[in-house]
Amino acid sequence: MFLKFAENFFCNKIEKNNFNFSKMAKDISGNDFDEKVLQNKKIVLVDFWAPWCGPCQSFLPIIDELAAEISDAEIFKINVDENSELAQKFGVMSIPAIKIFKNGKMVDEATGVQTKEKLIAMIDAQK
């Protein structure tokens, strides 16, 4: 009974909001970082996060919403527990940490939960 209620609730909410799950931020790792981020022709926003981090969990819906709404930048997530070498390489000391890349170079960054508007401004500043 509960599962049917949950299914109806979430399905109706998703249809109502037109949320596109295929456009959610994608998880990447050290194995595909160079290809997906450094070699990307678009501006790339990377969210360094961890599953145990409360602020990271509250920030993930903002990241996914941003990924669903913009088409001129790529949005990725990196779990720092599984990719500690990347976190260290890019100086991640606190999470969530946002890094903006353009033409293979990190060009902007922010730490802590950010508003969607702030993230859009960070991306737009690189155009």
At residue 51, what is the residue type?
P
Give the H/E segment covering residue 57.
helix 54-69
- Tens-place pLDDT, residues 71-111: 999 999 999 999 999 999 999 999 999 999 999 999 999 99
Say which residues have a Cβ less than 8 Å from residue 13's Cβ, sequence separation at least 6.
none
Cα Rg, the chain, nearest whole Å: 15
Among candidate residues 24, 56, 67, 68, the one labeled active-site is: 56
Domain ranges in the chain?
Answer: 22-124
**Record: fold of 22-124:** Glutaredoxin (3.40.30)
CA dist 29 and 65 (Å) reads: 21
Active site residue 53: yes
Q: Considering only CA atoms, which of 125, 100, 96 is closest in space to residue 113?
A: 96
Q: What is the pTM of this model?
A: 0.83
Among candidate residues 53, 106, 107, 120, the one labeled active-site is: 53
pLDDT bin (cut points 50, 70, 90) of residue 23 is: confident
